[in-house]
């Protein structure tokens, strides 16, 4: 690994939007020799700046920031309204009203401006690829650009990037595909093979990795680094809710599934009641459904009800342990 931004230990902590990727977690991972990532998704540009400033105060090591691309997929407002009405009894039980759709660009332009003003070592993109002008602007400032890809064709479209993050179907959280679809979904090892065949860039492998043996294997298959998210959720530095952390170890949650029920986009989480009951009804409408379900999810979390919360988790969720992030980085690299 010759690129200066790649970690000394080939362990990347996945950017987890919505709270888990705290500056404390990112700094601990980077200080241990891995590459920590902040998640800019769902935050304002000012909040992203504050997270970057806090992380820089905690570590002098390289770290990354992940940005969600704006959603340009066509959405059927009637389908979203019907789903909102369907969830009304669930919302009433929780003492809230379903939310209403809002902006679909996740403050993309403001975040790009903020990141270019004080660029981190790495910026990654999910749900699409930025245009070449944005890629060049970061590269000219010495920032490496990574694009999340879920198919070989997406890897071809991201050829201007410095690296790819190949995300297999086993990954927890949102599928980072360029469009709101399950099309072309592949397990990580198959995807890694396909992406390596079409690019000479370094490829970070993500999806269902949880042990030192997993890391060693994926590197032996040609990955430049292994990216793990779920493995870090139970670390004390993680900002995941206590409810989420407990669910990962709760024996009544036995499996994960991909669903649009919580956000309108395919995402993998622990199978709970909400996922089971509403998966078939959720329209392909992101982030519209995210806004609709947000009040329900927040109320359920406050009430300690894990059956209405999006418990994002990859297939290796049982490997997640309550251990300091630095110790986890070293453990994951122990077979190398």
DSSP type of residue 27: H
Question: pTM for the full model?
Answer: 0.97
Domains along the sequence of the chain with CATH: 1-71+106-238+320-335 (3.20.20.70), 74-105+254-310 (no CATH)
pLDDT in tens, the chain (336 residues): 346 788 899 999 999 999 999 999 999 999 999 999 999 999 999 999 999 999 999 999 999 999 999 999 999 999 999 999 999 999 999 999 999 999 999 999 999 999 999 999 999 999 999 999 999 999 999 999 999 999 999 999 999 999 999 999 999 999 999 999 999 999 999 999 999 999 999 999 999 999 999 999 999 999 999 999 999 999 999 999 999 999 999 999 999 999 999 999 999 999 999 999 999 999 999 999 999 999 999 999 999 999 999 999 999 999 999 999 999 999 999 999
- Cα distances from 206 to residues 78, 111, 198, 281, 305, in angstroms, run 35, 24, 18, 29, 29
Say if residue 181 is exposed, middle or buried (CB neighbours under 10 Å; 0-12, 13-18, 19+). Answer: middle
Q: Select from 324, 63, 61, 316 the least CA-distant residue to 212.
A: 316
């Amino acid at each position: 690994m010759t690129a200066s931004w790649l970690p000394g230990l080939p362990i990347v902590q996945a950017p987890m939007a919505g709270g888990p990727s705290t500056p404390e977690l990112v700094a601990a991972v980077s200080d241990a020799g891995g590459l920590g990532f902040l998640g800019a998704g769902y935050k304002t540009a000012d909040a992203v700046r504050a997270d970057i400033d806090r992380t820089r105060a905690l570590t002098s090591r390289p770290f990354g920031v992940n940005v969600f691309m704006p959603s340009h997929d066509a959405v059927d407002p009637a389908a979203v309204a019907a789903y909102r009405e369907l969830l009304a009894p669930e919302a009433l039980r929780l003492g809230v009203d379903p939310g209403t759709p809002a902006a679909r660009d996740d403050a993309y332009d403001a975040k790009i401006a903020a990141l270019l003003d004080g660029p981190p070592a790495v910026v990654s993109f999910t749900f699409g690829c930025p245009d070449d002008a944005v890629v060049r602007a970061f590269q000219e400032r010495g920032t490496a650009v990574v694009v999340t890809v879920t198919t070989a064709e997406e890897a071809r479209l991201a050829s201007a990037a410095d690296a790819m993050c190949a995300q297999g179907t086993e990954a927890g959280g949102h599928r980072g595909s360029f469009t709101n679809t399950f099309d072309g979904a592949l397990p990580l090892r198959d995807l890694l093979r396909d992406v390596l065949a079409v690019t000479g860039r370094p490829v970070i492998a993500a999806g269902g990795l949880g042990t030192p043996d997993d890391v060693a294997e994926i590197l032996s298959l040609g990955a430049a680094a292994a990216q793990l998210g779920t493995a870090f959720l139970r670390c004390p530095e993680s900002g995941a809710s206590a409810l989420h952390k407990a669910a990962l170890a709760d024996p009544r949650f036995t499996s994960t599934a991909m669903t649009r029920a919580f956000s309108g986009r395919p995402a993998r989480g622990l199978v709970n009641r909400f996922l089971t009951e509403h998966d078939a009804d959720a329209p392909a409408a992101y982030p519209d459904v995210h806004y609709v379900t947000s009040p329900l999810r927040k109320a359920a979390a406050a009430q300690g009800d894990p059956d209405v919360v999006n418990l994002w988790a990859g297939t290796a969720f049982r490997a997640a342990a309550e251990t300091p992030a630095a110790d986890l980085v070293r453990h994951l690299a122990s077979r190398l």
